[in-house]
């Protein structure tokens, strides 16, 4: 069974100019995928505009209206990092709708997994706040939609962006029906994601933060997944795994100080897919978050799609760099394991 794939040229219409989160991220990635003839080997899934009812599964209706009005009035800066353009509301709604369509197709059993190549990203967008390049939180809405519209009891989100997904965490911090696991550089923007942030009330323990020290590479991220992410998924037994796929922890991406390679990212994706095969019939939806280097990002996406589709991975042309384990790493991982009883 082939994998599903969401992409629409409308995602280019969120025209941010020379902002780091710009349309070149999509055009460079699609050029590499088309060179490899991957899109033709995938089940194409159409994007659509999410409805107001769908957006408000996570977002405050007043916030949704505010984003719409800002776009209709010509746009502007929602915060110092986040630009709203005249087309941004429509594009962001299409991002969410495309992700929901992918989820529908996966849950219908038409494909086992899907990749959503979308922009703008979403995981910083909270219920009533735009920030960090993000307007609507497509992965959070997908998790809420899977439960509200498909009746799933347990959904897991694995977020491996270099930045902590504070918006996703906020959406489900008191909700035991969603397990949120994040690896992210720490301390770093947006300042959240400490190991001690674990959820509230009945959801205590359903938020798992793995704050990676500066300079963490393939070995450290793989060990974090082996020791924390995979056992946490096994204990939770999700019916679906969503992945906030941020590739800005690649060593070539100068937005941060992490040292992952394409092969390193491939190892993380492989571990998620293996867990999904054991726990939820392989049901995985990956959705694009960060990644700003116009060579590294396309290759990380290509590797992920090859793994989803069962295609032999193409050799990583960028290679890896030698790293030394950051001194705080072992103690951090021990703390996370202790907090969540995964030791």
Give pLDDT tens digits for 36-63: 999 999 999 999 999 999 999 999 999 9
* Each residue's pLDDT tens digit, 272-289: 999 999 999 999 999 999
* DSSP label of 104: H
> Is 124 part of the annotated catalytic residue set?
yes
Angle between helices 61-72 and 88-107 (to 10 degrees): 130
| Nearest alpha-carbon partner for 298 in 27, 114, 9, 41 | 27
Residue 249 confidence (pLDDT) above 80: yes
CB 230 within 8 A of CB 181: no
Compute CA 250 distance to the chain's CA centroid, rounded to the nearest angstrom: 15
Looking at residue 1, its pLDDT comes to: 67
Q: 149-203: per-residue pLDDT in tens?
A: 999 999 999 999 999 999 999 999 999 999 999 999 999 999 999 999 999 999 9
**pLDDT for position 343:** 74
The enclosing H or E element of 101 equals: helix 88-107
pTM to 2 decimal places:
0.98
Of the candidates 326, 327, 324, 301, the one whose C-alpha atom is nearest the C-alpha of residue 314 is 301
Q: What share of the chain is helix, strand, coil (3-state, %, to 5)?
A: 40, 15, 45
Closest CA to 118 of 56, 25, 197, 205: 25
Please enumerate in sequence order all residues whose Cβ is within 8 A of that of 190, keeping only pairs 6 or more positions apart, or say none.
Answer: 124, 131, 132, 163, 164, 166
Strands (E), the chain: 4-6, 43-45, 76-79, 82-84, 113-116, 155-159, 178-185, 207-212, 240-245, 284-288
The residue ranking higher by pLDDT, 185 or 325, is 185
Band the pLDDT of 313: cuts 50, 70, 90.
Answer: very high
pLDDT at 48: 98
Alpha helices in 197-237 (DSSP H): 218-224, 230-236
Which member of 59, 123, 124, 164 is catalytic?
124
What size, in residues, is the chain? 343
pLDDT of residue 206: 98
Alpha-helical (H) ranges within 164-240 are: 166-172, 218-224, 230-236
What's the token pair of residue 137?
A: 């939180």
The CATH code for residues 4-339 is 3.40.800.20
Taking the CA atoms of residue 95, residue 134, residue 168 and residue 200 in that order, the dihedral angle to the nearest 10 degrees is -150
- pLDDT value at 295 more than 70: yes
With beta carbons less than 8 A apart as the criterion, state whether 96 and 146 touch.
Answer: no
Average pLDDT over residues 144-153: 98
Residue ranges of domains in the chain? 4-339
- The pLDDT value recorded for residue 128 is 98
Whether the per-residue pLDDT at 322 is higher than 90: the answer is no
- Under a CB-based contact definition with an 8 Å cutoff, are residues 322 and 261 in contact? no
| pLDDT one-digit tens code per residue, 15-36 | 999 999 999 999 999 999 999 9
What is the rounded average pLDDT for all residues in the chain? 97
Report residue 323's pLDDT band, with 50, 70 and 90 as the boundaries. confident
């Amino acid at each position: 069974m082939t994998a599903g794939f969401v992409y629409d040229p409308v995602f280019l219409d969120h025209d941010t100019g020379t902002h780091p989160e710009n349309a070149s991220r999509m055009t460079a990635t699609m050029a590499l995928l088309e060179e490899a003839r991957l899109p033709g080997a995938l089940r194409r899934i159409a994007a659509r505009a999410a409805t107001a009812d769908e957006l408000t599964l996570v977002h405050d209706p007043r916030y949704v209206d505010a984003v719409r009005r800002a776009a209709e009035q010509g746009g502007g800066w929602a915060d110092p990092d986040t630009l709203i353009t005249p087309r941004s509301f429509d594009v962001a709604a299409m991002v969410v709708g495309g992700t929901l369509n992918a989820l529908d197709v996966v849950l219908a059993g038409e494909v086992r997994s899907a990749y959503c190549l979308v922009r703008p990203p979403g995981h910083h967008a909270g219920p009533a706040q735009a920030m960090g390049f993000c307007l609507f939180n497509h992965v959070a809405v997908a998790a809420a939609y899977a439960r509200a519209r498909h009746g799933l009891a347990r959904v897991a989100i694995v977020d491996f962006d270099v930045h902590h997904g504070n918006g996703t965490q906020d959406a489900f911090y008191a909700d035991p029906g969603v397990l949120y696991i994040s690896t992210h550089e720490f301390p770093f923007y947006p300042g959240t994601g400490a190991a001690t942030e674990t959820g509230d009330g009945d959801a205590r323990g359903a938020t798992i933060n793995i704050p990676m020290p500066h300079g963490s590479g393939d070995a450290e991220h793989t060990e974090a997944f082996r020791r924390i992410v995979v056992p946490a998924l096994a204990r939770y037994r999700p019916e679906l795994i969503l992945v906030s796929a941020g590739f800005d922890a690649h060593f070539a991406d100068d937005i941060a100080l992490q040292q992952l390679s394409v092969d390193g990212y491939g190892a993380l994706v492989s571990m998620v897919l293996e867990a999904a095969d054991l726990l939820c019939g392989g049901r995985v939806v990956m959705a694009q978050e960060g990644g700003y280097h116009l060579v590294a990002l396309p290759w990380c996406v290509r590797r992920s799609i090859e793994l989803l589709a069962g295609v032999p991975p193409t050799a990583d042309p960028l290679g890896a760099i030698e790293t030394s384990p950051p001194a705080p790493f072992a103690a951090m991982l021990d703390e996370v394991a202790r907090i969540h009883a995964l030791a």
